């Protein structure tokens, strides 16, 4: 019912068309069915920001046409594992095929979406068109619904067939869902779905298959006070190497923008680890590892910067600017620029820098085997390592109000190194002491990140000149966008100074 919200519990099955027909005629179905089947054609349009911020937060937003009615549905925690889906769902009737955030009845969810969308816009990502045969069922003192869906998912010019069944528990004990599923599906091989329609649609939009790699974030490492520096160093490098390898595949095999971002983060984390342990060991093998990681980070960073130019620089202005002449041509130029950077990044990730880095990572434990200082306890060393990078960062900030653009960029890199170093050693300290410091540090990083993105945005004018040299409107649009962000960056920079002073007042948990 539009306006209702609840947490669903349902099982999803992948079917062949033949199996769908057999299921529609299953004897147990007629025994459990209540009333006649309801057949409808449903068109659902899924929306997200260009950077897919909703997907990253585990939220799907769709507007579905059901006859003459448009229904907006938001699902939180929409992911499927081994066929089981248990999302929170909120529906509302809307006026047409566009999202209406004002129709969201939950103030908390409405504010969360507003924060995610802030500075961006919502646009269609993909759509599904399905024929649905739905039946109400009753079994073991429970009410259920079986939906048989057959249709297509479309994203741009790409299309993928869809054939699946959803068995949802409407009311009653979860055991009833098991009982009904056993009666309907257990007499033939079962293929449980590991993706719902939203996940399949995002895959199609990003040009990846259902088995394509997914972006990998850094994961907390188990580390205790009894560990040696050697054990900690090996664990940190193994963690960064895993993040690098996983996201390298994402960049090579998909167009997922998060892949380049997380790959650059992984490379930066690796370089930060090498710097953190440099007081104990700095041999030629580690120097070579750092050199190759730096080269890859630079090239992958150019791809990430090209994505930022579209998602964080162009999009926030293009919405308010409306029909400003030249915007369409400028966006096409930015897309071509990103495509070229993706080609370059993929070439680098299959080139000699990658080969060298991979060998260094694989043989890393052996390359530090002869270093006796690494056998010291990590607990005392972690205090010195964090304090060292803190002091270097603090020195950079003494003239924070008058830092040049290049100096701001260097301080931003110091802040990142500080954060990664803190995260490496965080398990050694009480979480209640670490979290407030990291929270303030992240807030400061966000401001420095935006200010740096605006410096990077100056490329927009060069890209417009290169790709639209005979289009004065596109070049004027580039100037307009740059001016809009430059004005906003000046205001944000004032925040950076306040945030830095707040960070300086935070307790030094490592001392």
Tell me if 323 is assigned to some domain.
yes
Domain check: are 160 and 243 in the same one? no
Where is 468: in which H helix or E strand? none
Per-residue pLDDT of the chain (511 residues; tens, 9 = 90+): 444 445 667 888 888 999 899 888 899 998 999 999 999 999 999 999 988 889 988 899 999 998 889 999 998 876 666 667 667 888 999 999 999 999 999 999 999 999 998 878 899 999 999 999 999 999 878 899 999 999 999 998 999 999 999 989 899 888 888 888 888 888 887 788 878 889 899 989 887 776 778 889 988 888 888 999 999 999 999 999 999 999 999 999 989 889 999 999 999 999 999 999 999 999 999 999 999 999 999 999 999 999 999 988 888 888 665 566 788 899 999 999 999 999 999 999 999 999 999 989 988 999 898 999 999 999 999 999 999 999 988 887 777 777 777 788 888 888 999 999 999 999 999 989 899 899 889 888 888 888 888 888 889 999 998 988 888 889 898 998 888 888 888 888 877 778 888 888 888 899 8
* 69 is a domain residue: yes
In a shared domain, residues 426 and 493: yes
Domain that holds residue 302: 229-505
Q: How far is CA 463 from CA 450, 460, 475, in A?
A: 20, 5, 9
Domain check: are 142 and 251 in the same one?
no
**157 and 238 belong to one structural domain:** no
Would you say residue 138 lies in a domain?
Answer: yes
Q: Are both 280 and 348 inside the same structural domain?
A: yes
Q: Is residue 97 part of a domain?
A: yes
Q: Are residues 83 and 177 in the same domain?
A: yes
**The pLDDT of residue 1:** 43
DSSP conformation class of 97: S
Q: Is residue 110 part of a domain?
A: yes
Residue 296's domain is classified under what CATH number? 1.40.20.10
**Do residues 372 and 493 both lie within one domain?**
yes
Flag whether 158 is in a domain. Answer: yes
400 in a structural domain: yes
Cα(113)–Cα(182) distance, integer angstroms? 38
CA distance 331 to 464: 9
Are 140 and 179 in contact, with CB atoms under 8 Å apart?
Answer: yes
Last residue within a domain, chosen from 139, 172, 205: 205
What whole-number distance in Å separates Cα of residue 205 and Cα of residue 338? 16
CA-CA distance, 78 to 321, in Å (whole number)? 33
Same domain flag for 22 and 169: yes
What stretches of 349-468 show up as alpha helix (H) in DSSP?
Answer: 352-362, 364-367, 378-396, 405-425, 431-456, 459-467
Is 250 found in the same domain as 134?
no
Give the global pTM: 0.75
Please tell me the total count of domains within the chain. 2
Give the per-residue pLDDT at 446: 85
Distance (Å, whole) CA 286 – CA 424: 18
For position 489, what pLDDT does the model report? 83
Residues 423 and 383 in one domain: yes
In a domain, 216, yes or no: no
pLDDT tens string 74-127: 988 766 666 676 678 889 999 999 999 999 999 999 999 999 988 788 999 999
Instruction: Kindly report the CATH number assigned to the domain that includes residue 134.
Output: 2.40.320.10
Q: Are residues 190 and 235 in the same domain?
A: no
146 and 42 fall within a common domain: yes
């Amino acid at each position: 019912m539009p306006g209702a919200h609840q947490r669903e519990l349902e099982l999803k099955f992948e079917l062949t068309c033949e199996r769908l027909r057999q299921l529609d005629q299953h004897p147990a179905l007629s025994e459990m069915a209540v009333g006649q089947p309801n057949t409808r054609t449903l068109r659902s349009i899924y929306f997200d920001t260009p950077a897919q911020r909703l997907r990253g937060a585990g939220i799907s937003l769709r507007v579905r046409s059901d006859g003459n009615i448009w229904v907006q549905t938001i699902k939180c925690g929409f992911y499927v594992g081994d066929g089981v889906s248990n999302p929170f769902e909120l529906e509302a009737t809307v006026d047409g095929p566009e999202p209406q955030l004002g129709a969201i009845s939950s103030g908390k969810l409405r504010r969360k979406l507003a924060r995610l969308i802030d500075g961006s816009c919502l646009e269609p990502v993909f759509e599904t068109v399905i024929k649905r045969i739905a039946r109400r069922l009753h079994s073991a003192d429970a009410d259920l619904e079986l939906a048989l869906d057959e249709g297509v998912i479309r994203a741009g010019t790409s299309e993928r067939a869809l054939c699946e069944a959803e068995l949802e528990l409407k009311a009653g004990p979860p055991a009833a869902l098991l009982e009904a599923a056993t009666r309907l599906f257990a007499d033939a091989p079962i293929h449980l779905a590991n993706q719902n329609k939203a996940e399949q649609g995002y895959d199609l939009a990003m040009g990846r298959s259902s088995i394509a790699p997914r972006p990998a974030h850094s994961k907390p490492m188990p580390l205790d006070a009894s560990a040696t520096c050697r054990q900690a160093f090996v664990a940190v490098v193994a963690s960064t190497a895993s993040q690098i390898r996983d996201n390298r595949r994402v960049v090579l095999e998909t167009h997922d923008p998060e892949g380049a971002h997380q790959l650059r983060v992984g490379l930066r984390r690796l370089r930060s680890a090498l710097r953190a342990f440099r007081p104990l060991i700095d041999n030629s093998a580690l120097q070579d590892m750092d050199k190759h990681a730096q080269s890859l980070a630079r090239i992958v960073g150019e791809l990430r910067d090209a994505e930022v130019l579209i998602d964080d620089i162009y999009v926030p202005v293009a919405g308010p600017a409306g029909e400003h002449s030249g915007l369409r041509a400028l966006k096409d130029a930015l897309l071509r620029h990103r495509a070229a950077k993706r080609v370059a990044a993929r070439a680098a990730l299959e080139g000699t820098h990658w080969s060298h880095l991979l060998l260094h990572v694989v043989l890393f434990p052996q390359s530090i085997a002869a270093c006796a200082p690494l056998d010291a306890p990590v607990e005392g060393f972690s205090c010195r390592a964090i304090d060292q990078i803190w002091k270097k960062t603090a020195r950079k900030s003494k003239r924070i109000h008058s830092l040049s653009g290049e100096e701001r960029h260097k301080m931003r890199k110091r802040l990142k190194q500080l954060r990664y170093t803190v995260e490496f050693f965080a398990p050694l300290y009480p979480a209640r002491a670490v979290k407030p410091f990291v929270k303030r540090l992240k807030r400061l990083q966000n401001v420095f990140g935006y200010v740096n993105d605006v410096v990077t945005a100056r490329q927009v004018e060069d890209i417009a000149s290169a790709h639209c040299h005979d289009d004065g409107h596109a070049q004027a649009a580039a100037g307009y966008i740059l001016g809009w962000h430059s004005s906003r960056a000046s205001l944000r920079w004032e925040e950076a100074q306040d945030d830095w002073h707040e960070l300086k007042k935070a307790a030094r948990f490592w001392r």
